[in-house]
Structure 1
Amino acid sequence: MSLIARSLRVGIAGTVAIGLLTTGAAAYSAPGAARHSSAPEQVKVDKVPTPRLSWYDCEDFQSSPIIPQCATVKVPLDYDDPTGPTTELAVLRLKATGSPAQRKGTLFVNPGGPGGAGTMLAAIAPAFLSPKVLQSFDVVGIDPRGVNFSDQVRCYSSPGEQRAAFDGFKEPFPISPAETSAFFASSRSLGKACDTTGAPLTRKVSTAEVARDMDLMRRAVGDEKLTYLGFSYGTALGQYYGNMFPDRVRAIVNDGVLNPVNWVGDPARPSELDSRIRSGLGAVKALNEIMKRCKDAKKKCVLGATAQAKWDRVMTDLKKKPVVIDDGGEKLTVTYAMAVGTVLGAMYDPAGWEAVIDITNLLYKAVTKKTADVDRSALRQRFAPKRAGMAGFPYNNGLESGLSVVCSDTTNLPRLEDYPAEAQLADKRAPNFGPAWMWYSAPCAQSTWTAQDDDAYRGPFNVRTASPMMFVGNTYDPATYYWEALDSAALSPGAYLVKSQSWGHTAYGSSACVTGRVDAYLLALTEPAAKACLGDVQPFVTNSSSAGARATVAGPLTPETVVRILKSRKQIMPPVANPWLANAGR
């Protein structure tokens, strides 16, 4: 799923009335009162002839008894020039398993990123969608323009050239002056390459362009209105669509929410992206709660009553000096940034708290010089180098496609040189995790990234939709802060907000309560009951062996499980949008 971390929300640590709230329901008008699609957007898309999708079986994707069908379609590169240059999109469909009478239409899905592949998510829909949803909808995933099997954004002429240019991205994020200098050099190379070799596609991949493509695909599959389920950054796509084409909304679910107003920012007051979307705060909230529950669990947790202090000691010591693993093989160095990135990645899993405790325990023994107690083999397993396809074949364009979207959509600081000071502020605001999230968007500095989409959408984001959108907020999400969901729901008239005390990134599939409410909304547009939701996996209550078993059977799973399933089946992985935080993503 890629890492851009996009979407963070605040969750109030002590008070959460975990559950589902309805925002503005009393003021909501009947669907007939919905605002029409904005005239410019309607004209842009409606003047393009409806594409004909020539579906064919694509057994290579088969991950269930349902054989997926694939299609490719050419869409305008620029909707202002519908007969001009085109770009090709890859589309995958799983047909509804129910009878024709049961079929309600098409469910479009997106896994986030930016840079995540919709085809991959749709291909394994039976692994994370409920049977009733599969009976009722064809499930369709689109690889957004620039991504995966669609025409790819490629800013370098070869993998070798890319690899050399990305040398400054080796660490999860820079700490030392030398690392920062190298990061700057790679960022400048990337910005220049994406405005030259990567053009013109890099100038036409904003979220608004993908929303236009999705409206065209909605028409191509024969649906009068859109039904959509988006995760993480995919919630930005859902909200863009709802506000650009409000009269064409049947049902939109946004799980793991990014507030589009914070995402876009204020051009008159440029600021660093994570200071607005607060992913770092979400990660800190999750980490601190794990340590608190460890303390409360007493003998059930190996770190004991001093769990938080041990984590703080590990972070303090690693900032000063890395841990060197020497077990007779090749030496492995564990840096502060590696430790932060690895723990952040672990927290994407609902049962990731076990890995967080284990990593903290291993590193605590290492930094306190209790060498006899250090499990070097376990440390090596946790921190084996992961390059996320940054070198070699095939060409991995995850970072390029992801940043092309981020830098097109968002308002950023004027210069790269502004970011080290922002990193210090981020570390005060969200210790350890703030800088990890902050550095991702640094290449978008205005003087560094100059490839811009003149048709990017900047709002409004408070348009009444034909049916109210649903927002799902997870209070312990390490990537999308809960308050982003709360604020987004408040923006959207009549919206439904589902609040769940869940772990990991996004909540559908990891909370039976959330899953039931989302399914009822998708199937019958049912307003969720105002009832608290709780994640199925809770630290020191549910172990990872019982949770992990779900990855091998049909039934609702978190989108992050998609990655594990694809790995286990040796299928091509969705691009990772942030190589230096390769395990994370929005």
Structure 2
Amino acid sequence: MHSTSPCWWRTSSPPPSPCSPASPSPGPGCATAIRPHTAGRAAPTSSPGSSPRPWSASPSSTSPLGLSNQASLAVLDTLWLLTGFAGYRAARHRRYADHRVWMIRNYALTLVALTSRLIQPLIEHLVAAQLTDPVSYTGDALSAAHDIAGARRSAIRRWPARVQCRAAVWWTRMRADVQRMGGIGRSAVEGRGMLISGPIAGRRRGAAVVTAVVTCSTVLAGPDLATAAGPPSPSAGGPPSPSASAPQLEWSPCVQGSAFDCATAKVPLDYRNPGRRTIELAVIKRKATGPGRRIGTLFFNPGGPGGPGTVQMPQNYRFFPREVRERFDIVSWDPRGVGSSTAVNCFAGPEEAHAWLSGKPAGFPVGARQRAAWIAAYKELGRRCQQRDPELLRHVSTADTARDLDRLRQAAGDPQLTYLGISYGTFLGATYANLFPSKVRAMALDSTIDPQAWTNHASTEDPRLPTFLRMGADRGAAAILDQFLARCGAATTARCAFSAGSPKATRDKFDRLMRRLREHPVGAWTYSRTVGDVVNGLYIVHPGWTTLAGRLQTLWQGRAPAPSPAPPAPPVPHPDPYLGDEQAAAVFCSDSPNPRAPGAYHALEEASALRAGDPGRFWTWAGEPCATWPGVAATGYRGPWNRPTAHPVLVIGTRYDPATPYSGAQAMAEELAHARLLTHHGYGHTALLNPSSCVNAYESRYFIDGTLPPAGAACRQDTPPFTAPRPSGGVATGGGAMAGRVS
């Protein structure tokens, strides 16, 4: 762990904090594809031995109505456009801005459909003599059904669910019929142009209609976790994944005598070309402890991006509710690009990495000279990474990891996914839920990232603000810092060493300390390093706040604090894998757009400091490494976020969070199609690591039988700050967890 690193993804102790489809964006450092899928291919109009089918000879033949097929397509698409325009007007009137974006995108595709006949000769030339993949069309029809049934807040919100599904089936059937007649077009719901006729067209029509019907059945079915259906088809609930065989997991004890088992999974680097390069994922499991009571597997992501699950899950295992540990195998993994999996590593060895790290300011840069050094350091890091493995950099997006997660689910033998994601893991969960909506059994998202803020609302333009200012992390950190100082000031020095006797006096003392450190650092403890340490020290209340207060008091006395002890090493083969800044940057910068002009960050820093004080400087510069990062996700995902899932999602938000503000949980609960918000009236980053027996009880019941908390439910933290910690609710309290990482 690099306690001196200024990046939000590699900061000083305590725990990690949090703080992304099919084509790269022309914009800087981010992906803009709407939905990843396999490209459609043309098929011959007939095959040997097949009987001729009506209206399949050419795109110019006529339909039973007497219209040419191209005219029929134009009529259908025009009707879709007019219907959609009416929905847009209704959505505009009802102020559903997010669905306006969704509708406008689909209407633009419809306009493409009306003019696609102009480029038919070019398309025919490019795809001639190739076979059509029926799975791709099935996936398209599935997405069509979800898009229509998922427009719950648009003008068709008042339609019964069955009517929505019938609309999806009708549109899929009609479009497939006209396509089979030989037409070419690009419908608003299919999302691609095709030239289809003959027997293959007939098969595709059947697959598309069946898929739409199955999808509607899934949408209409109520939650029933106890009787989960068998594994869905490979394409159901997400983009088609060629050769979607599950990896083989050969479990064995991680080390001799360990209660944890380890395995290695092989997955495709590029899911569009699964037969090419493969990569390895390091996976870890703790078996369910309740004999004969096991329900299935709970997959856990500890955040980051860049958090190694093989290290952090064992360190945090005691924080999982007792009932969850009894009923589920708990499985985690090092995501692609991270830790003990096939990792992004841009240095020849540890010495070279250390030399790079020591050449840049700790925390964030202060002054023109440090700003120049910071910018040059991260530009050099990007250059090194691009030289070593540019292909890997393009395939470590959150969407790639979501596809890995679905492979791991299949390998575990679970027909649907049960998942807990904290911090950045909430964005991974939201991505999975929208790529594979029919495969969600239960999903809890704790300390939540607003997906629209993370992806800059899927805009292709250079963003005005860095990611963490869009999220409001600066304001969130300022709010919890104020609470820390107020509660410290209200406590005695026996409870909070930094107390000055009252909240106001303690706030003044902190401000004086920061001004003093700007002019006179205490050894290696500069102003910027101290601010970074403060932000990260607020993540875990017990014992984090007490030890943070002790470090601040030591600095106040003019002495350098002793290094924080590392958490106990977990019983795994590689308890301290290489976790360089480039691993988090590879995911973060390919997923989340940030301003591409390094010189803009100083002004952004000053503006954030006006509204959030010292934490604003820290969170502003946390996004600057992306300004010069070379990697762009080849298969990312940036929305939509409202595809109806098979079962509802539980969203947990903490009122005072230094990294993912409560507003992010509110936004996530609103964005997802079926979600329930549980409010945690507490402090710190994640309810998992700042326990509430109330949250644990709701979460356990949800995971076990699918019961959601009542609407508006709220819980309180078990142990307030600056009081003696105590065990509660079957979840052991205490420190450790993910020291030195922002997750």
Q: Same fold (TM over 0.5)?
A: yes
- Equivalent residue number for residue 474 of structure 2: 280
Structure with max Cα Rg: 2
Matches within 5 A, 1:432-447: 432-445=614-627
* Kept after mapping to 1: 8 A contact 2:466/2:594: yes
What is the CA distance between 1:465 and its match in structure 2? Answer: 1.2
- Provide structure 2 residue ranges, at least 5 long, that are not aligned to the other structure: 2-6, 10-16, 20-151, 162-215, 222-231, 567-574
Change (3 A) 1:199 1:495: same
Partners of 2:220 and 2:602 lie apart in 1 by 46
Q: 2:286 aligns with which of 91, 94, 97?
A: 94
Task: Report deviation, 1:246.
Answer: 0.7
Residue in structure 2 matched with residue 580 of structure 1 by the alignment: none
Read off the aligned partner of 2:642 and give its amino acid letter: N
Matches within 5 A, 1:226-245: 226-245=417-436
Give matches, 1:173-572, under 5 Å. Answer: 173-265=364-456, 266-270=459-463, 271-297=465-491, 302-305=499-502, 306-319=505-518, 321-324=519-522, 332-351=523-542, 352-366=544-558, 376=559, 379-381=560-562, 396-445=578-627, 448-508=628-688, 510-529=691-710, 530-540=712-722, 542-543=723-724, 546-547=725-726, 555-557=730-732, 561-563=736-738
Superposed displacement of residue 410, structure 1: 0.7
Cα gap change, 1:147 to 1:432, in 2 (>3 Å): same
1:365 CA drift (Å): 4.7
Q: Deviation of residue 153 (structure 1)?
A: 0.9
Unaligned 5+ residue runs, structure 1? Answer: 8-23, 325-331, 367-375, 386-392, 565-582
Q: Are 1:235 and 1:258, in contact at CA under 8 Å, matched by a contact in 2?
A: yes
Q: Contact 2:679–2:713 at 8 Å: present in 1 too?
A: no
Give the direction of change, closer, same or farther, for the CA distance of 1:166–1:44 in structure 2 (3 Å limit).
farther
Distance 1:365 1:166 in 2: 29
TM-score, scaled to structure 1? 0.80
Label 1:197 to 1:560 Cα distance change in 2 as closer, same or farther (>3 A). farther
Instruction: Give the C-alpha shift of residue 358 in structure 1.
Output: 3.4
Amino acid at match of 1:52: Q
Deviations along 1:409-462, one digit per CA (max 9) or x if unpaired, are 0111122122122111221222111121221221111xx112111211111112
Partners of 1:171 and 1:456 in 2: CA distance: 31
- Counterpart CA distance in 1 for 2:629 and 2:317 is 40
The Cα RMSD (Å) is 3.2
Q: Partners in 1 of 2:448 and 2:299 — Cα distance?
A: 17
C-alpha deviation, 1:46, in angstroms: 5.6
- TM superposition score normalised by structure 2: 0.64
Instruction: Tell me how far apart the structure 2 counterparts of residues 119 and 394 of structure 1 sit (CA, whole Å).
Output: 10
User: Could you tell me whether the CA contact under 8 Å between 2:462 and 2:594 is conserved in 1?
Assistant: no
State how far apart, in whole Å, the 1-side matches of 2:584 and 2:449 are: 15
3-state DSSP class of the match of 2:738? helix
In structure 2, relative to structure 1, the CA distance for the partners of 1:6 and 1:98 (3 Å cut) is: closer
Q: Write the distance in 1 (CA, Å) between the matches of 2:549 and 2:326.
A: 40
**Per-residue Cα deviation, 1:174-232 (whole angstroms, up to 9, x for no partner):** 11212111111111111111212132211110000000000011111111100001111
CA contact (8 A) 2:696 2:729 kept: no
CA shift, 1:506, in A, is 0.5
Contact 1:282 1:479 in 2 (8 A): yes
* Counterpart residue identity of residue 562, structure 1: A
Distance 1:264 1:449 in 2: 16
Counterpart in the other structure of 1:567: none
Tell which deviates more after alignment, 124-133 or 79-88. Answer: 124-133
SS at match of 1:186: helix
Residue 311 of structure 1 and its aligned partner are, at CA, apart by: 1.4
- Distance (Å, rounded) in 2 between the aligned partners of 1:159 and 1:483: 40
**Aligned amino acid, residue 533 of structure 2:** T
Contact 1:423 / 1:435 at 8 angstroms: preserved in 2?
Answer: yes
Q: Which AA in structure 2 matches 1:537?
A: T
Query: In structure 2, do the counterparts of structure 1 residues 584 and 348 end up closer, same or farther at CA, with 3 Å as the change threshold?
Result: farther
Match of 2:244, as an amino acid? V
Seen in structure 2, the aligned counterparts of structure 1 residues 383 and 106 have a Cα distance that, compared at 3 Å, is closer
| Cα distance change, pair 557–485 in 1 and its aligned pair in 2 (3 A) | farther
Give the Cα–Cα distance (whole angstroms) in 2 for the partners of residues 465 and 431 of structure 1: 40
Give a deviation string over 1:94-120, Cα, whole Å, max 9, x none: 1212234x2211100011111111122
Q: Aligned letter for 2:219?
A: A
Q: In structure 2, do the counterparts of structure 1 residues 455 and 182 end up closer, same or farther at CA, with 3 Å as the change threshold?
A: same
* Structure 1 residues 438 and 92: CA distance shift in structure 2, 3 A: same
Structure 1 CA distance for aligned equivalents of residues 607 and 236 of structure 2: 40
Query: Partner amino acid for 1:314?
Result: L
CA drift at 1:383? 8.3
Residue deviations 1:29-57 (CA, integer Å, cap 9, x gap): 79831699996984543632222212122
Residue type of the partner of 1:316? Answer: R
For the 8 Å contact 1:506–1:558, the answer to whether it is kept is no
1:196 aligns to what SS in structure 2?
helix
Contact 2:340/2:577 (CA < 8 Å) preserved in 1? no
